[in-house]
Chains A and B, each alone.
Chain A
Amino acid sequence: SQQGEEDPQALSIQEGENATMNCSYKTSINNLQWYRQNSGRGLVHLILIRSNEREKHSGRLRVTLDTSKKSSSLLITASRAADTASYFCATDGRGAGSYQLTFGKGTKLSVIP
């Protein structure tokens, strides 16, 4: 079963605009990760944020985590056409089985040149 849920399900923006995607999850976590998946391809790891972190940056990516609300957001600044892909958040569980990643359904991002 899916633990996380991304919002929105689909997002269409113009090149140069910022894109924000949100993820909510249900159980306590050690870490939350964001992945990108281009059509017909595997998942590419973007960023990992630990449960004791609130914000993390990597290039044009900014991730926030609010464990009290069990939610995270991914911001892509100055979007490019190449950012067009599906974006998934993935959480692990605490304790036994923490290696299992549980993914949401993803946000499909379209960046229009």
Chain B
Amino acid sequence: GAGVSQSPRYKVAKRGQDVALRCDPISGHVSLFWYQQALGQGPEFLTYFQNEAQLDKSGLPSDRFFAERPEGSVSTLKIQRTQQEDSAVYLCASSFLGLAALTDTQYFGPGTRLTVL
């Protein structure tokens, strides 16, 4: 079946612009995660959804970052008033099981590379 897809694959924004990044998880997956990966670093956790509920947003770096998953499938990560330090690859991952399970394999999308000029 289809894997996790993300769009756009590349986004260039001027500083101060708002951006919206989309994630389509694997169908039927309960959990959805967003990660931020800076150049030369490993991914860092941003936020977690179980179905439509955002259970953890402890990794969001500022209140300019907002994520939603209103119907428990597609998710959008929105960054308002982008800054140069927001430049990174934003990865989405999904897993079949929910919070009650111990760690389940997370399947990652290809990411969106955001460049803020």
A binding-site residues for B, Cβ under 8 Å:
1-2, 4, 30-31, 33, 35, 40-45, 48, 88, 90, 92, 97-106
- 13 example contacts (A-B, Cβ-Cβ < 8 A) are as follows A2-B44, A31-B102, A42-B4, A43-B108, A92-B102, A97-B56, A97-B58, A99-B56, A99-B95, A101-B103, A101-B106, A102-B45, A105-B40
With A42-B4, A42-B111 as known contacts, state yes or no: A103 contacts B105, CB within 8 Å: no
Q: Could you tell me which B residues sit within 8 Å of A by CB distance?
A: 4, 6, 31, 33, 35, 40-45, 48, 56, 58-59, 91, 93, 95, 99, 102-111, 113
Rounded to whole Å, the gap between the CB of A63 and the closest CB of chain B is: 14
Most buried by B among A42, A88, A100: A42
Q: Are B45 and A100 in contact (CB under 8 A)?
A: yes
A103 x B107 contact (CB < 8 A)? no
Q: How far is the CA of A61 from the CA of B32 in the complex (A)?
A: 27
Check B110 against A2 for contact (C-beta < 8 Å): no
Point out the residues of chain B lying under 8 angstroms from A4, CB to CB.
Answer: 42
A41/B106 contact (C-beta < 8 A), A2-B41, A100-B45 known: no
| Inter-chain contact B110/A42, CB cutoff 8 Å | yes
Which residues of B have CB within 8 Å of A103? Answer: 42-44
Q: Which residues of A contact B110 (CB under 8 A)?
A: 41-42
Asked whether, in the complex, the Cβ of B41 is within 8 Å of the Cβ of A105, the reply is yes
Min Cβ gap A95→B in Å is: 11
Chain B's closest residue to A94 (CB) is B102
